[in-house]
Structure 1
């Protein structure tokens, strides 16, 4: 988006000015001493959050309902500002940068996204180039249309190109939305409960697609919000546990996703196991839990 044309959407697949492709290991997003309060009730939503995401890292963000996961995702996605503390995304501090440029370099996938149900999968992916709900046909050249085809193929749903989005299954919709999010060639991909309401085959198809994406795009950083360890692909290497707006644990998955820490986070006894890169969590009776 240029200063002389503030109402125009960004050019298809063009990277915003000042936002360069991050080098491997470079900081993509950083939260320092971040707190968020609801102004109307003074309720603490997040408290003293410190967290850094680097290029090529794949994070899981876990916690019970109301733990603050979506708020953290909105901060990293430049969709809101903290009450206190600092949020830096792609080298720019929120409050000192045009967040519209930042958002153009961040891919977001959420079930709350508005998508025309009668639009074909190819059309839905095309709208990711302009960041719009409805397609802006004059903005899409042949290269942009071909890129949409390539992304559908990368997410293993090329055969859905001409199918209306509204008749696609939940798993197919999730992969179409990921392809859409990748149209702007983002450095950061945020996935807000992408497995919600998926059946087992659809869940596994999506996990496979995300794993391939991580392998094929080594510079891409991802953050996945989920309630279930079973939904984590083998590519997930780091995790954050949130409880009541505070970080319970963060770091490499082997250190964070333990029975002890999951029990403390969710408030009930949880057993955790791992097999060939995939996780399994099961819970026992609530009354066994000790106070923490």
Structure 2
């Protein structure tokens, strides 16, 4: 269904498949799993948000006022003052559910210790492929590259078996994992990247969220051209008032009509006695 241009911007729709849903207007869902662990949160003067783990070995930036379209940047460090071990990026159009899946898995891994969130297994790409292939994505192997393509050809995952140069990955020039969606192959609508040492379980959580057939909810104002043109949209009808809701509304209108007749002023309260007035001031 293609929504009307003049529709209510707060009309809600169920959107499927998820890789066509686009982002929501808020970052709270992606931040919440880490906030639930008590991670420190800071803001800058521009409105960007930064979250860091208690040991400062994981840092997240939610950057609506950043220098590019990398809205979410997550980095893990060998130690608080060490070099970056792995990094993940989600751009500003990535469906929020995918970011939330990643940060939820990251929060769980953090509670398990550095062996899980810093040095987790990175040599099991098939683990991340499985949710997608089970959902009908086509898997092609071309030389040293695996590419998985959604049934509608509007989302892809590329994995390179030969690891790129670490510094090039960390600088954002080239990543071993590249998830993206949209009609363009070179310039996708949304993308996510993961460097070589990103624990596979975190990437698997993301691909599991992508493969989930459950529709996601979006307001009409959040629907991108990609979503409107290619996704399946089902409007969510507003809740039907129950008989109790109707009676309450009628009673409220009756009270208003009784106490606020046109042309009459509301009655003034009776003046307090000196004793009562003194008691009120004392409270």
- Please state which band the TM-score falls in when normalised by the shorter chain: under 0.3
Larger radius of gyration: 2
In the superposition, the TM-score normalised over structure 2's length comes to 0.27
In the superposition, the TM-score normalised over structure 1's length comes to 0.27
Structure of higher RCO (CA pairs closer than 8 Å, 6+ residues apart): 2
